[in-house]
Structure 1
Amino acid sequence: MISITNLSYYLGSRALYENASLHIKPNQKIGLIGLNGTGKSTLLRIITGEYQIDGGTISKAGDVTIGFLNQDLLSYQTDDSILSVAMQAFERQNKLQARIDELLHEMETNYSDDLVDKLGKAQEEFEALDGYSVQAKAEEILEGLGFSTDDLQKPLRQFSGGWRMRVMLAKLLLQKPSLLMLDEPTNHLDLPSIQWVEKYIQTYEGAVIVVSHDREFLDNVIDVTVEVANAKLNLYSGNYSFYLEEKALRNEIQKGAYENQQAKIRQTERFIERFKAQATKAKQAQSRVKQLARMERIDDVIDEAARVNFKFQFSTQPGRHILHLDNITKHYGPKRILTKADIRLERGDKVALIGANGRGKSTLLRIISGSEPLNEGNRQLGHNVSFSFYAQHQLESLNVEDTLLDELKHANPTKTEGELRGVLGCFLFSNDEVFKKIKVLSGGEKSRVALAKVLLSQANFLLLDEPTNHLDMQSVNILIQALEQYEGTYVVVSHDRYFVSQIANKIWYIEDEQIKEFPGTFDEYEWWMQEKKAAGTSNGSVAKQASNATVSAPAKASSTNGRAGDDERREWQRTLKKLTQQAEESETRIGQLEERKKRLEAELADPATYGDDKLMQARNDEYHRVMKEMNQLQDEWESAMLEVEELEAKLK
């Protein structure tokens, strides 16, 4: 369908592509991946013909049509309704409809055979092009992308950039080009819309090229992965998970070949050095010199799996209770977001706030931060809680004249330049890049700086609104590692399912104007939702009710006169005994872990350990596992002891 052969494209003296080749076949679903700045979006613009190449050829079949969803479409505005904009995809049908209407109007005063004949032909072509169902198709796709029926007649100008991008996506999908190119489509979609687009692409009859950092989206829609690296297009015949496995295998083979070649080079160089001055061996030595010059060198494998080696800390330890939103109500005129909603956040909670756009997720984050006023209810922060808030609009608060180092110094003046360089290194800024000014950074680079500032702030409570937008996969992986190491509490809004599955131990979602909680990981939540739908159960936080059943049982069993009966007291005594035993077991285990922690700290300080990379990594991983288990047990012990106190008070 499209053949790219020996493509070369330069930005100044830098080669984005050099002798790169790719063949795009009909119905292929291609995921285009690579680090930011490697030229993924540039390749899409080269395919459309917007950019002229410096070398090679691009051949297209004569009947190829291309649809390109890119960030430039965000600037498009009009007073036309979003339904009208989407229906611009049906150019011929729209012209025929206008012609039919014109002919019908003429026939009101002139019912000639010629007009009847023209009307018949127009209607026949209109019907052949399925013109009578185009509006229904447009409505179906717009509603699939998250628009309500009432939204369809609203002007495009009223919608935010992300929603305008959805209209542009709907228009492209309705055009059904033979090659559909999508540049970061999930940045502007909520989870239900992402899942809808996945299903649509899976059954799409044309070829698709997707640039995305959402690995689960890629796994679900692509059958070929093309990696942009070293100015080449490297093809892997499978989805993103297959690419990871295959690349690891290729790297292992390349590493072995590189090491073998290096050994041969060293051996040859020793021979040359030893015998070049001996008359009897000089000819052989000269032959080896030529052999080395002709040798095609194998590149060493570059480790792209960046790792966070900086420990993010906070100076003030908060109390057990981080936040309580008590009977809060929030509405904007007639639009109600929350009505007498209640939720608690405890120390160590790692919460992902998920759901469709328009439900109030970002509003809830602002309420938690205190920047959004409530109509009713109370927001109560716990003892010693200090928070830091990351949102996309806060990128504008970066000082554009500051260097990266200066910007991080403002976030945490106590850190040395070496420590700040270490943090910037974690976020993929190295060497002289730390002296770049903020104003020359891309959107993704600014996001990384802003995230680094949040994590450096020493806050013990983080609020993160769509932190993975505009980050490539390597940067997302760094953020995951940073949050795994972070020992505080956070609430994250994200539609990236892989990211959420890695960082959350609780799920929040807004439903029926209430904040619902699922006490488990995202994978567990998805399984629970599927089971719930299959069983046809009513909506609500069933899981939370189940998780609280043991604790709330004594309260529910209270007698109507306010005095505890014998059966009730026996139940309390049994629960008290069980909780006391659990607390003692937790205390014993915490003591064991404390001892192990001390031994690990001694080993990590031993030069013999940090001189051995593998041993250092193993001890470091174990140290984090021990700390994680200790924190979890400490929280369980505190929770058990609070319940013990309550039960002992009742038994007095």
Structure 2
Amino acid sequence: MIAITNLSYFLGDRALYDSASLHIKPKQKIGLIGLNGTGKSTLLRMINGEFQPDGGHISKSGDCTIGFLNQDLLSYQSDDSILSVAMQAFERQNELQVQIDKILHEMEHNYRDELVDKLARVQEEFEALDGYTVQSKAEAILEGLGFVTDDLHRPLRLFSGGWRMRVMLAKLLLQKPSLLMLDEPTNHLDLPSIQWVEKYVQSYEGAVIVVSHDRQFLDNTIDTTVEVSGGKLNYYAGNYSFYIEEKALRNDIQRGAYENQQAKIRQTERFIERFKAKATKSKQVQSRVKALDRMETVDEVIDENAKVHFRFQFTTQPGRHVFQLEDASKAYGDKVILEGTNISMERGDKIALIGANGRGKSTVLRVVAGTEPIEGKRRLGHNVSFTFYAQHQLESLNVQHNLLEELKYANSTKTETELRTVLGCFLFSGDDVFKKIKVLSGGEKSRVALAKVLLSQANFLLLDEPTNHLDMQSVNILIQALQQYEGSYIVVSHDRYFVENIANKIWYIEDHQIKEYPGTYEEYEIWVAERGLQSAVSEKAVVSSAPPQKKSAQSAGNQNKPAKPTSNEDVQKLKKAQKQVEELENTINNLENKKADTETKLADPKIYNDPVALAELNRFYTDVKNKLDNATADWEKAMMAVEELAG
């Protein structure tokens, strides 16, 4: 569909791409990954025709259409309703609707046969293009992305940049281009919307290229990973988790080849140095010199997975109870956030506050911090000292400071060596530490602000969307830092991989109450799925004539903290069964591809001219078919096991 051949692109003297090549096939789902600044967005713009390569070429098939979601669309404004903007995707249908309306209006005053014929022709084309369903399709996608029905007729200009981006995403999805390019699509989405987009991309009939720092989103949507590194496009035939494993194997092979080559170079150089003055060895010396010149050197493996090793220090240790809300209520006019909620946290709690946008997660953080007034009681525990990280914290950085000065301001007790160590953990090394804050990118400022938070000596952290603007390497650093942190924290985040790795409890807002799940995010997801299944069963089984039962005071008090529905052993069994189902589905998909490929070869008349090759191909086909039958049977058993454990 699209062929990228020997692509080169320069930023000044720096080569973003140097003889890079890639083929994009129909229906392929590609995750484009790499460190910030390696040129991922630039490649998308070259494919879209906005930038021209300095060398090589990008060729596209004649019927290839491209839809590109990028961060520039945040600035798009219009007085049209968001439904109208989304429906701009249906250009021809909209033209036909205008024609139909015009003909009908004309027929009210001048009823002629030719108008009737024209109306019939236009309506026939309109119906063939599903014109009567386009509005319902647009409404369904907008509501899937988090808009409520009342929002659909509000002007686009009234929405924030993140919500405008969702409208533009809806428009692209409705256009259904043969190649959909998404640059950081999850940046402005809440968790339910991310999960909705995941399902949409999974079933999307065209090809997709996604640039994202959300590794779980990538794992759930892509079948191919392309890494931008060293000016090349490195291809991996699997999702992000596959890429991690495969890259480790490739690095091991490259590291071994590099070490062997370096040993050979040292040995050759010793030989040359030892015998270069001896006339009897001159030919052998010259031969080795030429061999070194001709040698294609193996690059040294650069470990891009930075490790964090620094100890967090508290000026004071907190008491057992860190924070408590009693009968707390919060509302903005008619919009109720909290109503009579009770919640507490203890020392060592590492909590992720999750849920859809608009539920009040950031408000809850401000309530905990004491910057948002409430009805009810807010209690901070004995010796608890906290610090608050939010996106507006970037604006509080002193733009005239360099990085060392800014961190010294956060913690004056640290030596310059210690501060350099911390900055090194956050990917600032060498002379980077003398950069002024004002020249940093958004992601770099986020890393500085997070370093300040972790140096603050607070024993209680409040973090609002700390992974925004961070690439995968920086997210990995933050995960390691929080895993080593011995205090308590509450984190608001939509990044599921991040949440799974840093939280031991989950808070969520439901019915204007803060409720707690006492386990990891993965366990919480299983519990939510089971609760949804049980609710559906209960609704079917309910007897309308049965009187409602009164709840005891004890059970009412425990409402905010649901116990895990199953034992830990059952949860582990369910996770194992679900993993087996996923592995078998991948196996079946691979076997079906092999079977289809073999059938194509068997359909070629030329194969019958070679009896040996034909016999071998038939044996391979029979083997693949038997394996496919066995894998399908195993999948059915595994699915039954999942249903039994979940039910």
Q: TM-score range by the shorter chain?
A: 0.7 to 0.9
- What do residues 91-138 of structure 1 show as CA deviations (whole Å, max 9, x unaligned)? 111111111111111111111122222212211111111000000000
In the alignment, the residues of structure 1 paired with residue 78 and residue 376 of structure 2 have an alpha-carbon distance, to the nearest angstrom, of 40
The answer on 1:435 being equivalent to 2:434 is yes
Say if 1:519 and 1:543, in contact at 8 Å, map to a contact too: no
CA contact 1:38–1:229 (8 Å) conserved in 2: yes
2:147 is the alignment partner of 1:147: yes
Separation in structure 2 between the aligned mates of residue 476 and residue 405 of structure 1, nearest angstrom: 22
What corresponds to 1:261 in structure 2?
A: 261
Q: How far is 1:170 from its partner? A: 0.5
1:366 and 1:222 map into 2 onto residues whose CA distance is 37
Does 2:530 correspond to 1:513? Answer: no
Q: 1:342 Cα shift?
A: 1.0
Counterpart of 1:317 in 2: which secondary structure? coil
Q: Quick one: which amino acid aligns to residue 344 of structure 2?
A: R
- Within 5 A, what are the aligned runs for 1:287-298? 287-298=287-298
**What are the ranges of 5 or more consecutive residues in structure 1 without an aligned counterpart?**
549-652
Number of aligned positions between the proteins: 547
In structure 1, the residue matched to 2:97 is 97
Contact 2:516 2:562 in 1 (8 A): no
The answer for the alignment partner of 2:377 in structure 1 is: 378
TM superposition shift of 1:293: 1.0
Does 1:499 find its partner at 2:495?
no
Matched with 1:534 is 533
For 2:416 and 2:54, locate their aligned partners in 1 and report how far apart those are by CA, in whole Å.
42
Cα drift, residue 401 of structure 1: 2.0
Aligned letter for 2:518? Answer: P
1-side partners of 2:508 and 2:251: how far apart? Answer: 41
Residue 545 of structure 1 and its aligned partner are, at CA, apart by 4.6
Structure 1's 543 and 284: CA in aligned 2 closer, same or farther, altered over 3 A?
A: farther
Tell me whether 501-510 or 148-157 shows the greater mean CA deviation: 148-157
Following superposition, the deviation at residue 534 of structure 1 comes to: 1.9
Deviation string, structure 1 residues 252-277 (Cα, Å, up to 9, x no partner): 11111111111111111111111111
Contact 1:66 1:179 in 2 (8 A): yes
CA offsets, 1:163-195, max 9 Å, x none?
111111111100101110001111111111111
Query: How far 1:279 sits from its partner (Å)?
Result: 1.4
Give the aligned partner of residue 331 of structure 1: 331
What is residue 444 of structure 1 aligned with on the other side?
443
Give the drift of 1:547. Answer: 7.5
Which residue identity is paired with 1:530?
A: A
Deviation at 1:515, TM superposition (A): 0.4
Aligned to 2:508, the other structure's residue is in SS state strand
Give the partner amino acid of 2:144.
G
CA distance in 2, matches of 1:472, 1:546: 36
Q: Hey, what does 2:282 align to over in structure 1?
A: 282
- Aligned-residue offset at 1:435: 1.1
Amino acid at match of 2:258: Y
Equivalents in 2 of 1:59, 1:242: separation in Å?
29
The answer to whether structure 1 residue 122 and structure 2 residue 139 are counterparts is no
CA contact (8 A) 1:405 1:420 kept: yes
Secondary structure of 1:462's counterpart equals strand
Q: Secondary structure at the match of 1:371?
A: coil
Letter in 2 for 1:471: L
CA–CA distance in structure 1, aligned partners of residues 65 and 559 of structure 2: 49
SS at 1:188's partner residue?
Answer: coil
Partner of 1:468: 467
Does structure 2 conserve the Cα–Cα contact (< 8 Å) formed by 1:145 and 1:197? yes
Per-residue CA distance 1:3-37 (angstroms, 9 max, x = gap)? 10000000000000000001111000000000011
2-structure distance, mates of 1:193, 1:421: 39
Provide the C-alpha distance between the structure 2 equivalents of 1:109 and 1:545, rounded to a whole number of angstroms.
Answer: 68
Q: Which runs of 5+ in 2 are unaligned?
A: 540-555, 566-647
Q: What is aligned with 1:607?
A: none
Match of 1:51 in 2: 51
2:128 counterpart letter in structure 1? A
Partner of residue 422, structure 1: 421
* Aligned partner of residue 379 in structure 1, secondary structure: strand
Deviation at 1:544, TM superposition (A): 2.5
How much does 1:159 deviate?
1.6
Q: Which amino acid aligns with 1:137?
A: K
Following superposition, the deviation at residue 286 of structure 1 comes to 1.6
TM-score, normalised by the number of residues in structure 1: 0.82
Alpha-carbon distance in 1 for matches of 2:426, 2:279: 56
SS in 2 for 1:172: helix
Between the aligned partners of 2:80 and 2:373, the Cα distance in structure 1 is 34
Distance 1:442 1:122 in 2: 53
CA distance in 2, matches of 1:16, 1:154: 42
Q: Distance in 2 between matches of 1:502 and 1:385?
A: 24
What is the aligned partner in structure 2 of residue 544 from structure 1?
A: 561
Which digits, 9 at most, give the CA deviation of each residue in 1:423-475, with x for residues without a partner? 11000011111111112111111111111111111111101111111111110
Distance 1:34 1:307 in 2: 18
Name the structure 2 match of 1:562: none
1:292-371 counterparts in 2 under 5 A?
A: 292-371=292-371
Q: Write the distance in 1 (CA, Å) between the matches of 2:161 and 2:404.
A: 32
SS at match of 1:415: coil
> How many Å separate the matches in 1 of 2:535 and 2:250?
47
The CA distance in 1 between the partners of 2:188 and 2:410, in whole Å, is: 29
**Cα deviation, residue 412, structure 1:** 1.0
Residues 180-195 of structure 1: pairs in structure 2 closer than 5 A: 180-195=180-195
Whole-angstrom CA distance in 2 between matches of 1:408 and 1:117 = 76
CA contact (8 A) 2:513 2:560 kept: no
Q: 1:155 Cα shift?
A: 1.6
Letter in 1 for 2:434: F
Aligned-partner residue type, residue 77 of structure 2: Q
Deviates more, 1:509-518 or 1:60-69: 60-69
Match of 2:404 in 1: 405
Preserved contact between residue 355 and residue 508 of structure 2 (Cα < 8 Å): yes
Output aligned runs, 1:146-295, within 5 Å.
Answer: 146-295=146-295
Q: Which amino acid aligns with 2:228?
A: V
Cα separation, 2, equivalents of 1:511 and 1:406: 43
Query: In the alignment, is the contact (CA less than 8 A) between 1:90 and 1:134 conserved in 2?
Result: yes
Q: Percent identity?
A: 78
Q: Is the 8 A contact 2:45 2:51 kept in 1?
A: yes
**2:451 is equivalent to residue 457 of structure 1:** no
Q: Which amino acid aligns with 2:282?
A: A
Equivalent position SS for 1:19: strand
- 536-545 or 416-425, larger mean C-alpha shift: 536-545
Q: 8 Å contact 2:515–2:560 — kept in the other structure?
A: no
- Cα distance, 1:241 vs. partner? 0.6
SS at match of 1:262: helix
* Separation in 2, partners of 1:169, 1:94: 19
CA distance in 2, matches of 1:65, 1:314: 57
What's the TM-score, normalizing by structure 2?
Answer: 0.83
Moved more, 440-449 or 345-354: 440-449
Q: Distance in 1 between matches of 2:46 and 2:451?
A: 34
Counterpart amino acid of residue 208 in structure 1: V
Give the distance between the partners of 1:342 and 1:60, measured in 2 at CA.
59
Q: Which residue of 2 aligns with 1:12?
A: 12
How far apart, in 2, do the equivalents of 1:47 and 1:348 lie?
49
What is the SS of the residue equivalent to 2:342?
A: strand
Partner SS for 1:5: strand
Tell me the alpha carbon deviations over residues 291-333 of structure 1, each in whole angstroms, 9 at most, x when there is no partner.
1111111011111110002112221111111111111111111
Distance in 2 of aligned mates of 1:162 and 1:273: 65
| Preserved contact between residue 514 and residue 560 of structure 2 (Cα < 8 Å) | no
